[in-house]
Chain A
């Protein structure tokens, strides 16, 4: 065993009570860090998942129609014209097949789903409801929205003759799987569809409005034969959605809205949550560092004479320095191991107690390996840095003075 390890371990063993107390202090600090990080991570993951359960990461659509005056002002001529903007109508993305292929090939994009969407009405008996019609490729649509996992009745199988609707709409219309509803574009005649399944995407408004049919059925109903009105994208890095959207616009000239743009407030909330948690963690680390430093400073004062003797017996200055740095590092490491376990335990206890009325956990708290590694690294570094000052002091002790005054 190297001399610095030997002495550091003996010193820690000798000051048993001090060592136990400071390790306990570090453990509590690390536990707070781990628990807080896991809690905030879990909360954010669950909030984002809830939001994105009913939203594509990026939606690509044709640019808005703009009215252009035919006559342009010439030099010396003023035109007092009032340009009225046109109402937007359902339009197709020009050359959408190529666009879809190009989007699928973009870096950062994992899933692409062309969608035909527009306003429609659903009728049954004397009930009439305004809905949003979605004509989709079930395979692709299922990879963007977790609709297959969220079916409450029937199957997710929209075809030219069957539709899938939300739970609230099913209640409003009084239909169940196997019943029939009439779907029509506003002002159109429409057709009768079999209800193949009922979903619950966890959002009341979505459950009340969305009606999913096959691409072809929607194209016919919305008078967009052969076209699609938008393309939904799923991206690899959620928080890079903005960049991907900008990239899409630059490449295709189409309008691309990321979930970050449409949920700016949520994003601000998430960021302020994260930064307040970081601030708390910073001060916890600071307190831990001061605790380690103060214990080691006292230890250096107490061991002044011993350090002097060690130096008199041929122990190098650098060895004395290392002995105290090691003590800090060891305290940090042991504390981080215990603290991580404690934090994970707290997280599990919290997850067990914070449950919804139906007994399902409100949100997942997972202590990831990366989080554990980061906490251990921070605690280790904190230990070494906190020990730096006392260690330098110990190394600088004049052995003759230290032995005499002890």
Chain B
């Protein structure tokens, strides 16, 4: 499909009723299938706000926002929830696994949410995903029994459970040591290459940003630079 995974046109977002603070001041952004992009910028530049809008956790004050070809302006809460469920995977800095659920159950959670019920067939799929992120044999472990890197791998498997076209990652390696961070990054990269999933990674780490195909720089609520690196060689889908 030619339509972009993410399409933003003149998106603005302000907070407050009396004292209005404009956090995003007209953002235009297009992310295509299979892209591997980094979103960088200083604190307070509006990265988190932009990510919340992209993740359909919040609505823009004005402007056009389309995810996977679907316009979001006309959707109600249930519609946003549905679109979010099948089009977007999340990877958070602090993994945010559900502590009461085993690794496999955490990975199954998006499937359960989509189907509205648990099913036997979900278990082998979850176990296969855990194998792919290098966690074979840890399907029944509770998150508290896993290391930080392992927890983040579970979170990545969960983000990809429904094979979404887009994964939003907020500082996915932020609280990991350098070696583990590199491993996690490699896992993301692998999924990007093999499945053509588009990744948008918010990061403070210039080393990591440098390894992405594209670097989007956000300063004071506006994109000030948007560079593509061709050396890495990931051919963008059309």
Check B86–A314 contact: CB distance below 8 A: yes
Smallest CB gap from B164: residue in A: A314
Alpha-carbon separation in the docked complex, A315 to B77 (Å): 11
Check B99–A14 contact: CB distance below 8 A: yes
Check B113–A313 contact: CB distance below 8 A: yes
B84 at interface (Cβ–Cβ under 8 A)? yes
Most buried by B among A10, A315, A404: A315
Q: Within the complex, what minimum Cβ distance (angstroms) separates B156 from chain A? A: 13
Check A314–B113 contact: CB distance below 8 A: yes
Alpha-carbon separation in the docked complex, A403 to B105 (Å): 20
A279 at interface (Cβ–Cβ under 8 A)? no
- List A residues 1-57 near B (Cβ within 8 Å): 1-3, 6, 10-11, 13-14
Stretch at the interface among B28-36, B50-58, B67-75, B146-154: B50-58
- List A residues 285-308 near B (Cβ within 8 Å): 305-306
Q: How many residues of B contact A (CB 8 A)?
A: 30
A347 at interface (Cβ–Cβ under 8 A)? no
Smallest CB gap from A15: residue in B: B100
A319 at interface (Cβ–Cβ under 8 A)? yes
Stretch at the interface among B18-26, B114-122, B182-190, B206-214: B114-122
Alpha-carbon separation in the docked complex, A1 to B85 (Å): 19
A312 at interface (Cβ–Cβ under 8 A)? yes
Q: How many residues of A contact B (CB 8 A)?
A: 25
Smallest CB gap from B95: residue in A: A309
Partner of A3, one of B57, B96, B101, B118: B118
Alpha-carbon separation in the docked complex, A287 to B4 (Å): 57
Alpha-carbon separation in the docked complex, A290 to B153 (Å): 41
Alpha-carbon separation in the docked complex, A311 to B84 (Å): 9
Alpha-carbon separation in the docked complex, A1 to B116 (Å): 9
A114 at interface (Cβ–Cβ under 8 A)? no
CB-CB under 8 A for A314 and B100, given A1-B118, A2-B117, A6-B118: no
A102 at interface (Cβ–Cβ under 8 A)? no
Partner of A309, one of B58, B77, B85, B98: B98
Check A13–B100 contact: CB distance below 8 A: yes
Alpha-carbon separation in the docked complex, A57 to B105 (Å): 66
Check A310–B81 contact: CB distance below 8 A: no
Partner of A315, one of B100, B113, B117: B113
A316 at interface (Cβ–Cβ under 8 A)? yes
A interface SS class: helix
Check B90–A313 contact: CB distance below 8 A: yes
Check B99–A310 contact: CB distance below 8 A: no
Q: A398 to chain B: which residues have CB within 8 Å? A: 57
A317 at interface (Cβ–Cβ under 8 A)? yes
Partner of B112, one of A3, A317, A399: A3
B224 at interface (Cβ–Cβ under 8 A)? no
Most buried by B among A312, A313, A400, A403: A313
Smallest CB gap from B86: residue in A: A314
Check A10–B101 contact: CB distance below 8 A: yes
Alpha-carbon separation in the docked complex, A316 to B101 (Å): 19
Smallest CB gap from B118: residue in A: A1
- List A residues 316-339 near B (Cβ within 8 Å): 316-317, 319
Q: A13 to chain B: which residues have CB within 8 Å? A: 100
Q: Within the complex, what minimum Cβ distance (angstroms) separates B160 from chain A? A: 12
Check B96–A403 contact: CB distance below 8 A: yes
- List B residues 60-114 near A (Cβ within 8 Å): 77-78, 81-82, 84-86, 90, 92, 96, 98-101, 105, 109-110, 112-114
* Complex A-B: 20 CB contacts under 8 Å: A1-B118, A2-B116, A2-B117, A2-B118, A6-B112, A6-B117, A6-B118, A13-B100, A309-B98, A310-B98, A311-B81, A312-B84, A313-B85, A315-B81, A315-B113, A398-B57, A400-B52, A400-B55, A403-B96, A404-B48
- Other than A3-B113, A3-B116, A6-B118, give 14 A-B pairs with Cβ distance below 8 A: A2-B116, A3-B115, A3-B118, A6-B112, A6-B117, A10-B100, A309-B98, A311-B57, A314-B81, A314-B110, A316-B81, A317-B81, A400-B52, A400-B58
- Chain B residues with CB under 8 Å of chain A are 48, 52, 55, 57-58, 77-78, 81-82, 84-86, 90, 92, 96, 98-101, 105, 109-110, 112-118, 158
- Chain A residues with CB under 8 Å of chain B are 1-3, 6, 10-11, 13-14, 305-306, 309-317, 319, 398-400, 403-404
